[in-house]
Amino acid sequence: MIPVSEATSIIQSHSIETLKEEIAIQCASGRILREEVKADRDFPPFDRVTMDGIAINYQAYKKGVRKYPVEGIQAAGEQTKKLINSDSCIEVMTGAMLPVGTDTIIRYEDIEIKDQVATLLIQDIQENQNIHTQGQDAKRNEILIAPGITLSPAEVALLASVGKKTVMVSSFPKTAIISTGDELIPVDLIPLPYQIRRSNSYALQAALLELGCQADQYHIPDQPEILETEVKKILAHYQLIIFSGGVSKGKFDFVPQTLERNGIQKRFHQVSQKPGKPLWFGTSSNHVVFALPGNPVSTYMCFYRYIKPWLLKSLTGSTKQSTAILAKDFSFKPPLTYFLQVSVQLEQGQLKAYPSAGGGSGDFANLKDVDGFIELPAQTSDFKAGQAFNYYSFRK
């Protein structure tokens, strides 16, 4: 067995080449940007009115004018109008262009209009107030968004504002999820007493989809000849392959040797951790393969601890690590890195992790009550409340 740190280092050293694809911006949230996005004009593109009210020339106010005849109305979406008499005003709407000859906006709440004359109700007027000046946010050709960012709806709004209907993003590797085991049946069938429905592959597919990665599902029985044939087919069509099951030391665990016979070089097999000790990882020039233990909690933990960070690093070149503070004392005796299931709460600005160990790696029902895992190092067996540990969340 190798330690968790070594497994992590090996996995992260085998990134996969990611290509680019052009997608519609309404589909871009959550994807990794692969192009510079520049302002196609100043932001805002004109001196923009930010309050409904009247536009005046501040010099009129400065010389004592407090009543302003209304010359007209400047609506949003209209060509800019011009103030004829500097002692008059133009009514303006939010979002409108600032009328020529004006430089100050006074809110409707601060005036009274009667017989087409606006009278001030307050005395504290500041020059240039309530105006969003041209280019204040960004200048033409300024970079608004740099490559590598994970796009959110906020960036999608920026993309639309510069006229981009489509955007270049990182394309995910073509991905296959493979479950193995004769005891597993489709979810829409009634299991016999010795059978269970397939669930790991659906959990993995959903977890990848949260990242924007589409994955195809396959199921292969525990028969070496069929496994050999199907693995050859899958390797011909997919870059990223994730197995669930068939990697332990049982007599029906044929996945590792089948992969190695088909050109996937084993990088490691077995990690000093609980759950997920039988984790297998291998690569070829065109493939990255994770073979995860079949117990549901093991599969789940290994995805969030190893596969998700690896995939994000392959796409962006970096990863971010979260931490959480253990809220209660906890003990774990074997000399293994232990991934403890926890529920988390934000308390006084700190993320507190409350242990909820569950009934072992087969107790996937416990996952519904927790938010993620904290990583307890192998060098210690007694962990005290108040200590900070790496935290891997599976909830947004």
Residues 6+ apart with CB under 8 A from 110: 53, 120, 121, 122
Beta strand 117-120 pairing with 111-114 = antiparallel
Closest CA to 160 of 249, 278, 64, 29: 29
pLDDT band at 383 (very low <50, low <70, confident <90, very high): very high
At residue 252, the pLDDT reads: 63
Please state, in angstroms and rounded to a whole number, the distance separating the CA atoms of residues 358 and 53. Answer: 62
At residue 178, the pLDDT reads: 97
90-109 mean pLDDT: 98
Whether pLDDT at 236 is above 70: yes
Please state, in angstroms and rounded to a whole number, the distance separating the CA atoms of residues 33 and 171. Answer: 10
Please state, in angstroms and rounded to a whole number, the distance separating the CA atoms of residues 59 and 274. Answer: 75
62-74 mean pLDDT: 97
The tokens of 347 are what? 């308390």
| Average pLDDT over the chain, rounded to an integer | 94
Please state, in angstroms and rounded to a whole number, the distance separating the CA atoms of residues 8 and 307. Answer: 10
- What would the 3-class secondary structure string for 136-150 be? CCECCCCEEECCCCE
DSSP-based three-state secondary structure for 322 = strand
pLDDT band at 267 (very low <50, low <70, confident <90, very high): very high
Whether pLDDT at 394 is above 70: yes
Please state, in angstroms and rounded to a whole number, the distance separating the CA atoms of residues 251 and 229. Answer: 19
At residue 128, the pLDDT reads: 97
Entry pTM: 0.80
Please state, in angstroms and rounded to a whole number, the distance separating the CA atoms of residues 275 and 294. Answer: 11
At residue 287, the pLDDT reads: 96
Please state, in angstroms and rounded to a whole number, the distance separating the CA atoms of residues 326 and 106. Answer: 54
Whether pLDDT at 318 is above 90: no
* Rg, the chain, Cα only: 31
283-288 mean pLDDT: 96
332-336 mean pLDDT: 89
The tokens of 384 are what? 């005290």
At residue 129, the pLDDT reads: 98
